[in-house]
Amino acid sequence: MLLVADNLTITNETVEKALADMDPEPIKRLAADCEAAGARAIDINPGPLSRNPELKMRFFVQAVEAATDLPLLIDTANPAAMAAGLSACTKTPVINGFSLEKAKLEKILPLAGQFDADIIGYLIYPDSRVPSNADERLAIALEIWEHARKAGIDPSRLIMDPVIVPLSWDNGKFQAREVLSVIRRLPELLGHPVRTIAGISNLTAGRGNRKEKAVFERIYLTLLAEAGLDMALLNVFHGESMETAGFCERLLNNKVFTWT
């Protein structure tokens, strides 16, 4: 399970200020800290970037790449910013991402072919509503796959995000179980191996006891690993979650086990 840092986001005040000031040093320090914490890829999310989107995204990518060789996930709904970020990357990035929303199908999905990049497909409705159960998510997965095929995107390039929702939602626990079901069922549905990614931080979003949140995050991370999740997007400064992910990897990989 590849651990992807979700720390470089516009909701982080350090990132927000660094982008406003066009100051690369705080971003470089944060990226280096993410790698030191165990990240094996970094999601960079500058938000919608309504002003100077291309300039800001190129700056963001270059600042992160100056501090780490880790692969990047370019995370924005702004097509111009997305294209600028992809062109600025010196390594093959991941596009994060597209949905059935018309604008994303028309302006984000084609970038995967243009830049020969992997792309994440969100299993949500075109109006951004989250499906109510696993069957609805799987139906959307078929539509996502078909749109990617028509766009000339090789199926191996597609990464499915079943979309974790907060436990605090009225049906949060049920939704958490349905996400696990989707991850297990996708390969059979599509007839080939399917890579998956999930945003772990969404599970405990909102108010709640910090200690209990940490426990639920670790438990769910274990369940996701067992279900076959390929990429986990999380706060890599949550040390116990990172440790848990490491133990899951040791237990589930095909290597001979050793206590050392």
**Average pLDDT value for residue range 47-74:** 94
Same domain, 31 and 139: no
- 158-183 pLDDT, tens digit per residue, is 999 999 999 999 999 999 999 999 99
Q: Which domain holds residue 226?
A: 122-260
Same domain, 87 and 128: no
Q: Is 128 within the bounds of a domain?
A: yes
Same domain, 203 and 259: yes
**What pLDDT band is residue 102 in, cutting at 50, 70 and 90?**
very high
pTM attached to this predicted model: 0.95
**Average pLDDT value for residue range 197-204:** 96
How many angstroms separate the Cα of 40 from the Cα of each of 31, 37, 94, 197, 252?
A: 11, 9, 13, 14, 18
- 13-26 pLDDT, tens digit per residue, is 999 999 999 999 99
Q: Is 77 within the bounds of a domain?
A: yes
Last residue of a domain, one of 91, 110, 144: 91
Going through the chain in order, the beta strands assigned E by DSSP cover: 2-9, 41-45, 72-75, 94-98, 118-122, 158-161, 195-199, 231-234
pLDDT at 171: 95
Same domain, 86 and 154: no
Q: Is the peptide bond before 172 cis (omega within 30 degrees of 0)?
A: no
The CATH number covering residue 133 comes to 3.20.20.20
- 216-236 pLDDT, tens digit per residue, is 999 999 999 999 999 999 999
Same domain, 145 and 236: yes
Q: Which amino acid is at 23?
A: D
Same domain, 225 and 146: yes
Q: Is 241 within the bounds of a domain?
A: yes
Better pLDDT: 142 or 254 = 142
Same domain, 87 and 127: no
**Average pLDDT value for residue range 48-60:** 91
pLDDT at 51: 83
- 62-85 pLDDT, tens digit per residue, is 999 999 999 999 999 999 999 999
**Number of structural domains found in the chain:** 2
Q: Is 117 within the bounds of a domain?
A: no
Same domain, 174 and 254: yes
pLDDT at 123: 98
Last residue of a domain, one of 91, 107, 140: 91
Same domain, 69 and 127: no
